Amino acid sequence: MDREQTWQLIAEQRLRLADLLEALSDDEWQRPSLCTGWRVRDVAAHVALAPQGPSPWSMVAAGVRARGSFNRLNDNLTFAHAARPTHQLVDELRRYATSRSLPAVTNERNIAFDILVHGQDIAVPLGRDHPMPLDGAMAGASRVWSMGWPFWARRRLRGVTLAATDTGWTVGQGPEVRGPIRALLLLVTGRGTAAVPELAGPGIACLPAYAAPRRLDESAT
């Protein structure tokens, strides 16, 4: 995907996530997501905050308050934004759907797979259907595979081949783990508990201890 296609994907996914969130009950907004320690409303706030992030000076101040921990900084900003009414978070996703503003330390390729995976972080535990576009999922999986921190996918999944059954995407070397590209994107971003039910192949037995769900901290890369 080129840059323009990536931004188009981001806009479409923000609008689709807004539609999903608008249909949730008050109880569903409070339920745990696939992200450790984050509720559905926290994930929604994180995605809504991306195009309207704080200024560099505000980030420095927030970093000091977080005592230099990026995870703590991410939590602090997210939880503060999540205190807003749910209808406001939905409105923000729609209002900023086409915004190309970025946090100072990331790029559109990271934002694209961020929203794809976070959509699943919300939908999967709620049993909601939230389809993922194949081209976006493939671009996201390739991006994550090429990265080091925070996922270290090539290192964690060393010794297996990942092969998508609905696209031509394949990476790695060793016994095969195969399944839809959506599930493989969840796997490479550490969401093994959600991904494995959709995967098959002899490589499943070779997977390391990957299953603990995690947040997407790629916005710092």
With respect to residue 213, please indicate whether it lies within any of the assigned structural domains. yes
With respect to residue 36, please indicate whether it lies within any of the assigned structural domains. yes
| 158 plus 95 within the same structural domain | no
| 211 plus 157 within the same structural domain | yes
Q: Which two tokens stand for residue 37?
A: 């320690």
| 138 plus 91 within the same structural domain | no
pLDDT at 77: 85
User: What is the C-alpha separation between 93 and 181, in angstroms, rounded?
Assistant: 25
User: What is the C-alpha separation between 156 and 212, in angstroms, rounded?
Assistant: 12
pLDDT band at 105 (very low <50, low <70, confident <90, very high): confident
Q: Which two tokens stand for residue 26?
A: 């008050």
pLDDT digits (tens, 9 = 90+) for 117-146: 999 999 999 999 999 999 999 999 999 999
| 191 plus 138 within the same structural domain | yes
pLDDT digits (tens, 9 = 90+) for 35-89: 999 999 999 999 999 998 665 545 555 444 545 455 666 777 889 999 999 999 9
pLDDT at 69: 52
| 89 plus 162 within the same structural domain | no
| 25 plus 78 within the same structural domain | yes
Residue 177 CA: distances (Å) to CA of 98, 185, 196, 197 = 36, 12, 9, 12
User: What is the C-alpha separation between 38 and 89, in angstroms, rounded?
Assistant: 15
| 98 plus 147 within the same structural domain | no
Across all residues in the chain, what is the average pLDDT? 88
pLDDT band at 219 (very low <50, low <70, confident <90, very high): very low
CATH code (residue 139):
3.30.1050
Tell whether the model's pLDDT for residue 210 goes beyond 60: no
User: What is the total count of domains within the chain?
Assistant: 2
Nearest Cα residue to 185 out of 119, 106, 100, 102:
119
Nearest Cα residue to 221 out of 54, 77, 2, 70:
70
Q: Is 96 within 8 Å of 10 (Cβ atoms)?
A: no
With respect to residue 100, please indicate whether it lies within any of the assigned structural domains. yes
Which residue range is the domain that position 200 belongs to?
134-218
Residue where one domain finishes, among candidates 56, 88, 104? 104
pLDDT band at 184 (very low <50, low <70, confident <90, very high): very high
| 88 plus 161 within the same structural domain | no
